[in-house]
Amino acid sequence: MDHEALLRAVESEGSRFFDVADTVDTDRKVPACPEWTVEDLVRHLGGIQRWVAAVVEAGEPDSGMSPPQAPAGTDVRVWGREGFEAMLKAFRDKGPDAPCWNFRPGSPQTAGWWYRRQALEAAVHRHDIEAAAGIPARPVDPALAVEGVDEMLCDMLPALRQRGAADALHGTLHLHATDEDGEWWVDFDAEPVAAIREHKKAETALRGPASGLFLWLWNRQKISEDSFEVFGSEEILAAWGKVRI
Domain CATH for 174? 3.30.1050.10
Residues 120 and 54 in one domain: yes
Dihedral over alpha carbons 101, 104, 109, 110 (to 10 degrees) = -80
- Percentage of the chain beyond pLDDT 70 is 98
| For range 223-241, the mean pLDDT | 90
Residue 201: other Cβ atoms inside 10 A: 10
> What pLDDT sits at residue 61?
67
Give me the CATH number covering residue 25: 1.20.120.450
User: Does pLDDT of 86 surpass 90?
Assistant: yes
Does this model's pTM top 0.85? My answer is yes
Query: In the listed set 133, 158, 176, which residue is the last one of a domain according to the structure?
Result: 133
Residues 127 and 205 in one domain: no
Query: In the listed set 133, 167, 188, which residue is the last one of a domain according to the structure?
Result: 133
pLDDT band at 193 (very low <50, low <70, confident <90, very high): confident
Query: In the listed set 133, 157, 183, which residue is the last one of a domain according to the structure?
Result: 133
Residues 17 and 120 in one domain: yes
User: Does pLDDT of 171 surpass 80?
Assistant: yes
Which residues constitute the domain of residue 7? 3-133
Q: What's the CA gap between 210 and 180, in Å, rounded?
A: 7
Residues 67 and 110 in one domain: yes
pLDDT tens-digit profile of 159-170?
888 888 888 899
pLDDT tens-digit profile of 20-70?
999 999 999 999 999 999 999 999 999 999 999 999 999 976 545 678 888
Number of H helices, E strands in the chain: 8, 7
> What pLDDT sits at residue 62?
57
> What pLDDT sits at residue 81?
97
The answer to whether position 245 is within a domain reads no
User: CB of 54 within 8 A of CB of 67?
Assistant: no
pLDDT tens-digit profile of 121-136?
999 999 999 999 999 9
- What's the structural domain count of the chain? 2
Residues 199 and 169 in one domain: yes
- pLDDT mean across residues, the chain: 93
3-class state of residue 29 by DSSP: strand
Q: What's the CA gap between 239 and 207, in Å, rounded?
A: 17
